[in-house]
């Protein structure tokens, strides 16, 4: 039987773009009391990159293929996956109509790999609306962004060079 997992995520960037950022994900295994809170941060990044990173790192943490419901307050992440934008970008080798690289290509390519491993459904919720798990992820992501001594976001640095 395929495990069913709900993942709540949030990303934060203290000065967007280019400031320190953090991400957080709460993973909850259906039918059990088992849950795990993950977080991390990077220096010099963007809010959107941290939103993607939260989902990506949560999916990577799953040890075997699962049925996953991702609950996010990021319309960028939710729409990119559920409305097929990501698949369209991949077909065009992550280039826009002018031939320039799409933003966050490095993370989206990694996301495609994880989406092949799991059956993923996205559910968008409004942020800062009192949703307990979203509030926990928001606080945890902000704490991760504030931790100091963060590694650089090499993907963001590469994006700056290519634009």
- Look up 128 and say whether it is catalytic: yes
Sequence-separated (6 or more) residues with CB below 8 Å from residue 53 = 11, 23, 40, 42, 107
HSE (side-chain half, CA atoms, 13 Å) at 53: 26
Among 22, 40, 41, 73, the one annotated catalytic = 73
CA distance 57 to 37: 11
Number of helices (H), then strands (E), in the chain: 6, 5
Is the CB of residue 155 less than 8 Å from the CB of residue 101?
Answer: no
Among 51, 105, 133, 153, the one annotated catalytic = 51
Is the CB of residue 141 less than 8 Å from the CB of residue 86?
Answer: no
Among 11, 21, 40, 41, the one annotated catalytic = 11
- Look up 135 and say whether it is catalytic: no
- Look up 131 and say whether it is catalytic: no
CA distance 88 to 54: 22
Among 105, 133, 138, 153, the one annotated catalytic = 138
Catalytic residue numbers read 10-11, 51, 73, 128, 138
């Amino acid at each position: 039987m395929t495990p069913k997992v709900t993942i709540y995520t949030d990303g934060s960037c203290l000065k967007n773009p280019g400031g320190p950022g953090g991400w957080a994900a709460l993973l909850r295994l259906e039918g059990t009391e088992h849950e795990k809170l993950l977080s991390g941060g990077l220096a010099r990044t963007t809010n959107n990159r941290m939103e993607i990173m939260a989902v990506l790192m949560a999916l990577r943490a799953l040890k075997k293929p699962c049925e996953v419901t991702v609950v996010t307050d990021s319309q960028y992440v939710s729409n990119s996956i559920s409305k097929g934008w990501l698949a369209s970008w991949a077909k065009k080798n992550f280039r826009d109509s002018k031939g320039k690289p799409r933003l966050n290509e490095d993370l989206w390519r990694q996301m495609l790999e994880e989406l092949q491993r799991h059956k993923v459904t996205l559910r968008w919720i409004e942020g800062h609306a009192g949703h307990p798990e979203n509030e926990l992820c928001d606080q945890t992501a902000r704490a991760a962004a504030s931790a100091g001594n963060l590694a650089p976001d090499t993907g963001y640095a590469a994006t700056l060079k290519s634009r």
